[in-house]
């Protein structure tokens, strides 16, 4: 009995397994057939041209044809004068951008004949690059940077992009004041509804469009300030690199002069050693000093290549483009006091002007938001046929219903708190921006003070080197040279005097470089070029 039950259980398990396997095979065949059928159906749909329903030809296409045949009508003079004024702003700005000097009162004077000549040269890149291999002047680099620098071009194109907002604002008002058709859902509760499309027209307030034009004008002025900032920073970077270039070449020249002098002294030391009047250690010390000078000159040459790459990058040229030596510039000093610089910086700094323009723009937005708190006046009319059923036995045709719509009285318009909250939000942002101006002015005074102090310190160093230290060191070197040749001092004493003069000459040029760079950064901080006079006063 147990054996029979066990066999029966095994048979049931086997039958269940066969059933499951068969079911899986059937499902696979069905799914595959469905997929193949779907693929075939998809291919048929792709190859079959779907015909629009009859409704498309009787209603939709007819409406499209009627819309295309409708005349646009005479231009509405309601806002024509204001729109013409708004678009006039765009034309004026575009004309100015196409002029020789797109923005007046820039950080650097681009109207001089020299700069104009160099800007014309920039139109021929190959000729300009050939000119760069000759001795270069600061005006040439600034003119080419103005024409070639990609950051400056980007700021210039941003102004053109903002100008395209003028026609957008005018076009929006044109759209809003045109007739519009809107099918309003009417519910008469009884009977079939036969309704027609509503005809309505908006009458935008003219001052709203005027405010939009003023806001766009503020955006244009902000974009102009960004262009001025880009030009100011570019000119400053070119000046800093140019002054480094001058210093490197002057330092190289001074070291090469000392190298020649040291070679002459080595020859004298060797002659004295041969006749028994000198020591061989003097020759060794001179050769060591000569090797140090050679290493310094190599380092200066490498720094020169780095500065050339920096200038080429500012000009958007190849970093390996060779540049000629810089032409020395006139030494100048400013005539304004620190108090005058503070006042001028707060007035001329472009970031502060940009922030004030942003506040003016936000104020106009608040004014426009108040104007738009209530909707523009709208007139509209619609009619529909109401064929209601009075009772089940008699059908009575109801008269045509004519309905009008108007929103001329703002007092009857609902008030929404979110609009008031938006105005409050903008007012708070204006206060934040006003505090930002205070922060900018405070930081600006620090920057002006720092560069003014650095400039005065460098100026005192220049005076000290030129009026006292360098003449004394030169006299000491001449006396040491005479004394060494007369065997009154040893060679090491002569080397100390010569090394002192070399260091003083290098430091004098470094102080001059620092003075020029602090002056350039001071003008960058103030936001305008400063009046100058001769650097050294008698």
The 3 state secondary structure assigned to 77-106 is CCCHHHHHHHHHHHHHHHHHHHCCCCCCCC
Distant-in-sequence, close-in-space partners of 473: CB < 8 Å, separation ≥ 6:
497, 500, 501, 504
Question: Read out DSSP for 246-294?
Answer: HHHHHHHHHHHHHHHHHHHHHHHHHHHHHTTSS-HHHHHHHHHHHHHHH
Q: How many residues does the chain have?
A: 538
Cβ atoms of 333 and 533 within 8 Å: the answer is yes
Residues paired with residue 201 on neighbouring β-strands, in sequence order: 179, 379
Q: What is the pLDDT of residue 39?
A: 45
Distant-in-sequence, close-in-space partners of 471: CB < 8 Å, separation ≥ 6:
none
Tokens standing for residue 457:
């310190």
The pLDDT tens digits for 380-405 are 555 555 544 444 455 555 555 555 55
Q: What is the pLDDT of residue 67?
A: 43
Q: Distance from CA of residue 165 to its chain's centroid?
A: 18
User: Which of 150, 176, 163, 5 lies closest to 76 in space, CA to CA?
Assistant: 176
Q: What average pLDDT does this structure show over 227-239?
A: 94
Between residues 481 and 355, the one the model is more confident about: 355
Q: What is the pLDDT of residue 290?
A: 86
Cβ atoms of 329 and 138 within 8 Å: the answer is yes
The strand pair at 198-202 and 179-182 is best described as antiparallel
Q: What is the pLDDT of residue 167?
A: 75
Tell me the range of 14-23, 138-147, 270-279 where mean pLDDT is highest. 138-147
What's the burial of 21, exposed, middle or buried (CB within 10 Å: 0-12/13-18/19+)? Answer: exposed
Q: Calculate ∠ Cα 384-385-390, nearest 5°.
A: 140
70 pLDDT higher than 60:
no
Annotation: CATH topology of 84-408+423-534: Outer membrane efflux proteins (OEP) (1.20.1600)
Q: What is the pLDDT of residue 326?
A: 95
User: Which of 117, 342, 127, 91 lies closest to 220 in space, CA to CA?
Assistant: 91
Q: Which stretches of 61-168 are assigned E, i.e. beta strand?
A: none
372 pLDDT higher than 70:
no
Distant-in-sequence, close-in-space partners of 236: CB < 8 Å, separation ≥ 6:
520, 521, 523, 524
- When pLDDT is cut at 50, 70 and 90, the band that residue 367 belongs to is confident
Residues paired with residue 381 on neighbouring β-strands, in sequence order: 199, 404
305 pLDDT higher than 70:
yes
CA 340 – CA 512 distance, rounded (Å): 24
Least confident of 137-141, 271-275, 294-298, 534-538: 534-538
CA 382 – CA 391 distance, rounded (Å): 28
The pair phi, psi for residue 402, each rounded to 5°, is -115, 125
> Looking up tokens 């500065």, which residue turns up?
307
- When pLDDT is cut at 50, 70 and 90, the band that residue 15 belongs to is very low
Q: Look at residue 404 and give its three-state secondary structure.
A: strand
CA 277 – CA 287 distance, rounded (Å): 18
In order of 98, 149, 312, the CA distances from 127 in angstroms are: 24, 17, 15
> Looking up tokens 């100008």, which residue turns up?
163
Helix (H) or strand (E) holding 181: strand 179-182
In order of 31, 32, 33, 35, 330, the CA distances from 25 in angstroms are: 10, 11, 12, 15, 97
Between residues 6 and 472, the one the model is more confident about: 472
Cβ atoms of 238 and 311 within 8 Å: the answer is yes
Cβ atoms of 191 and 388 within 8 Å: the answer is yes
The pLDDT tens digits for 269-302 are 777 777 776 677 777 877 888 888 899 999 999 9
Domain boundaries, the chain: 1-46, 84-408+423-534
CB atoms within 10 A of CB 216: 23
- When pLDDT is cut at 50, 70 and 90, the band that residue 78 belongs to is very low
- What is the average pLDDT score of the chain? 76
Q: What is the pLDDT of residue 159?
A: 86
Phi-psi region of 124 (alpha: psi -120 to 50; beta: other; left: phi over 0): beta
Q: Distance from CA of residue 521 to its chain's centroid?
A: 20
- When pLDDT is cut at 50, 70 and 90, the band that residue 537 belongs to is very low
The pLDDT tens digits for 237-257 are 999 999 999 999 999 999 999
Cβ atoms of 523 and 450 within 8 Å: the answer is no
Between residues 108 and 353, the one the model is more confident about: 353
Q: What average pLDDT does this structure show over 213-236?
A: 90
The strand pair at 198-202 and 332-334 is best described as unpaired
CA 160 – CA 163 distance, rounded (Å): 5
Tokens standing for residue 61:
């296409």
The pLDDT tens digits for 161-180 are 888 877 776 655 554 555 45
What's the burial of 95, exposed, middle or buried (CB within 10 Å: 0-12/13-18/19+)? Answer: exposed
Q: Look at residue 507 and give its three-state secondary structure.
A: helix
Which value, to the nearest 10 degrees, does the dihedral of the CA atoms of residues 312, 314, 315, 319 take? 20
Q: Calculate ∠ Cα 97-100-105, nearest 5°.
A: 80
510 pLDDT higher than 60:
yes
Tokens standing for residue 436:
């930002």
In order of 11, 21, 167, the CA distances from 16 in angstroms are: 9, 9, 78
The pLDDT tens digits for 512-528 are 999 999 999 999 999 99
Cβ atoms of 409 and 382 within 8 Å: the answer is no
In order of 99, 242, 517, the CA distances from 235 in angstroms are: 21, 10, 12
- When pLDDT is cut at 50, 70 and 90, the band that residue 538 belongs to is very low
The pLDDT tens digits for 434-446 are 999 999 999 999 9
Least confident of 73-82, 227-236, 454-463: 73-82
Residues paired with residue 384 on neighbouring β-strands, in sequence order: 195, 401
Q: What average pLDDT does this structure show over 218-235?
A: 91
The pLDDT tens digits for 109-127 are 888 889 889 999 999 999 9
């Amino acid at each position: 009995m147990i054996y029979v039950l066990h066999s029966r259980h095994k048979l049931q398990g086997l039958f269940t397994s066969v059933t499951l396997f068969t079911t899986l095979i059937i499902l696979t065949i069905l799914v595959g057939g469905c997929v193949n059928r779907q693929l075939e159906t998809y291919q048929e749909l792709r190859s079959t041209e779907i015909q629009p329903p009859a409704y498309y030809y009787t209603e939709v296409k007819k409406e499209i044809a009627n819309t295309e045949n409708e005349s646009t009508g005479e231009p509405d003079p309601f806002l024509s004068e204001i729109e013409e004024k708004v678009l006039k702003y765009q034309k004026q700005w575009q004309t100015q951008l196409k002029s020789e000097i797109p923005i007046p009162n820039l950080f650097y004077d681009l109207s001089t004949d020299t700069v104009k000549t160099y800007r014309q040269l920039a139109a021929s890149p190959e000729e300009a690059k050939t000119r760069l291999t000759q001795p270069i002047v600061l005006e040439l680099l600034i003119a080419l940077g103005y024409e070639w620098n990609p950051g400056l071009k980007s700021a210039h194109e941003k102004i053109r992009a903002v100008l395209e907002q003028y026609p957008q604002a005018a076009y929006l008002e044109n759209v809003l004041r045109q007739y519009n058709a809107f099918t309003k859902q009417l519910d008469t509760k009884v009977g079939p509804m036969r309704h027609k499309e509503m005809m309505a027209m908006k009458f935008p307030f003219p001052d709203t469009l005027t405010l939009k034009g003023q806001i766009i004008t503020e955006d244009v002025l902000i974009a102009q300030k960004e262009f001025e900032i880009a030009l100011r920073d570019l000119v400053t970077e070119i000046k800093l690199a140019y002054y480094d270039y001058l210093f490197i070449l002057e330092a190289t020249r001074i070291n090469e002069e000392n190298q020649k002098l040291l070679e002459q002294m080595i020859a004298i030391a060797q002659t004295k050693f041969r006749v028994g009047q000198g020591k061989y250690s003097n020759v060794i010390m001179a050769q060591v000093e000569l090797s140090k000078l050679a290493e310094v000159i190599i380092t200066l040459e490498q720094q020169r290549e780095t500065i050339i790459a920096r200038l080429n990058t500012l000009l958007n040229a190849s970093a390996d483009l060779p540049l000629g030596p810089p032409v020395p510039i006139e030494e100048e000093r400013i005539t304004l006091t620190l108090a005058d610089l503070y006042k001028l910086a707060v007035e001329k700094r472009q970031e502060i002007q940009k922030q004030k323009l942003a506040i003016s723009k936000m104020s106009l937005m608040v004014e426009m938001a108040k104007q738009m708190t209530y909707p523009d006046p709208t007139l509209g009319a619609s009619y529909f046929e109401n064929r209601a059923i009075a009772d089940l036995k008699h059908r009575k045709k109801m008269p045509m219903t004519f309905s009008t719509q108007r929103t001329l009285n703002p007092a009857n318009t609902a008030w929404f708190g979110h609009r008031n909250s938006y105005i409050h939000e903008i007012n708070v942002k204006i206060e934040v921006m006003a505090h930002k101006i205070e922060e900018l002015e405070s930081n600006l005074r620090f920057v002006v003070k720092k560069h003014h102090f650095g400039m005065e310190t460098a100026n005192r160093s220049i005076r000290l080197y030129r009026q006292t230290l360098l003449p004394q060191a030169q006299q000491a070197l001449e006396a040491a040279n005479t004394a060494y040749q007369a065997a009154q001092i040893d060679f090491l004493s002569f080397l100390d005097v010569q090394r002192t003069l070399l260091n003083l000459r290098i430091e004098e040029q470094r102080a001059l470089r620092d003075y020029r760079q602090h002056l350039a950064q001071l003008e960058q901080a103030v936001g305008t070029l400063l009046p100058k006079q001769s650097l050294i006063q008698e």
